[in-house]
């Protein structure tokens, strides 16, 4: 069974949503990325990881994540190195078993070759793909190829997605639906839209797929608000910013991992409150 399916089956019995940190691969370096995943996995604070593959023209990413992509690209981080890092995490002394989902541009996948990228991702232990610049109308071939390798194709629905289109996206999605909490780009926010819970509740009535909410989630209050309607909560910019600030201050990879783990623990505590 795909790790994503297994995770949500377990969490349904535990009656709690998944907590899913987003990390930019290679920012500030792959050693730090590896240490973050190891620490968050060992502490049990993260249920699943979204790994951002740096791209020069990121889709819907706000200034924090876009800047992290640029820093990684300037250092020459390559897709092959990212997948090798993930493969090493699966095969290490303390193997990481949490699902890995890569956020990657279709431009990169197309350049590598769809079949080759899927084969390489499968070998690396990747469980799902988020490809934000791949429209649902053009996703059938990739979805079929991914399914033969038991890799999920996770697609995004936004607050402005018309309902008929949202239904079409839900039908073509596997693993889970990524529900974008706000119209616009990623980034930390003090408050989330008041109608967010109502929109997610409507979508839940249309599909059996787990629904994970991302964009703007950064505070324990956000977690408390969304936990009753979400199967998963994705935290990105707040983590990426903390990693960068700590690296800029000269913190070691171990110190960075410890600080981020403590932050994610504060969000986890809100789930249990």
The catalytic residue positions are: 50, 61
Helix (H), strand (E) at residue 146 = helix 140-148
Query: Phi then psi for 233, rounded to 5 degrees?
Result: -130, 125
Rounded Cα distance between 89 and 101, Å, is 14
Helix (H), strand (E) at residue 3 = helix 3-14
Helix (H), strand (E) at residue 18 = strand 18-24
Q: Are 220 and 270 in contact (CB under 8 A)?
A: yes
Q: What is the dihedral of CA 217, 218, 220, 222, to 10 degrees?
A: -30
Query: What does the block give as tokens for 24?
Result: 């930019």
Closest Cα to residue 73, out of 118, 28, 35?
28
């Amino acid at each position: 069974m795909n790790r994503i399916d297994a995770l949500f089956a377990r969490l349904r019995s535990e009656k709690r949503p998944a907590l899913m940190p987003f990390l930019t691969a290679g920012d500030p370096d792959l050693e730090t990325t590896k240490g973050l995943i190891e620490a968050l996995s060992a502490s049990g604070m993260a249920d699943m990881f979204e790994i951002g593959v740096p791209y020069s023209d990121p889709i819907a990413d706000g200034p924090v994540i876009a800047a992290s992509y640029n820093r990684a690209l300037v250092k020459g981080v390559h897709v092959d190195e990212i997948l090798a890092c993930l493969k090493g995490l699966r095969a290490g002394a303390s193997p990481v078993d949490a699902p890995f989902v890569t956020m990657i541009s279709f431009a990169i996948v197309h350049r590598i070759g769809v079949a080759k990228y899927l084969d390489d991702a499968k070998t690396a232990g990747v469980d799902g793909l988020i490809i934000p610049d791949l429209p649902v109308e053009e996703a059938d071939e990739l979805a079929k190829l991914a399914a033969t390798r038991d890799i999920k194709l996770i697609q995004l629905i936004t607050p402005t997605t018309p309902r008929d289109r949202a239904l079409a996206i839900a039908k073509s999605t596997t693993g889970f639906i990524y529900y974008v909490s706000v119209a616009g780009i990623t980034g930390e926010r003090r408050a989330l839209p008041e109608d967010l819970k109502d929109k997610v509740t409507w979508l839940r009535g249309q599909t059996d797929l787990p629904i994970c909410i991302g964009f703007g989630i950064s505070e324990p209050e956000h977690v408390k608000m969304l936990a009753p309607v979400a199967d998963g909560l994705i935290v990105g910019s707040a983590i990426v910013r903390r990693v960068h600030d700590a690296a800029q201050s000269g913190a070691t990879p171990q110190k960075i991992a410890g600080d981020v783990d403590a932050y994610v623990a504060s969000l986890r505590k809100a789930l249990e409150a």
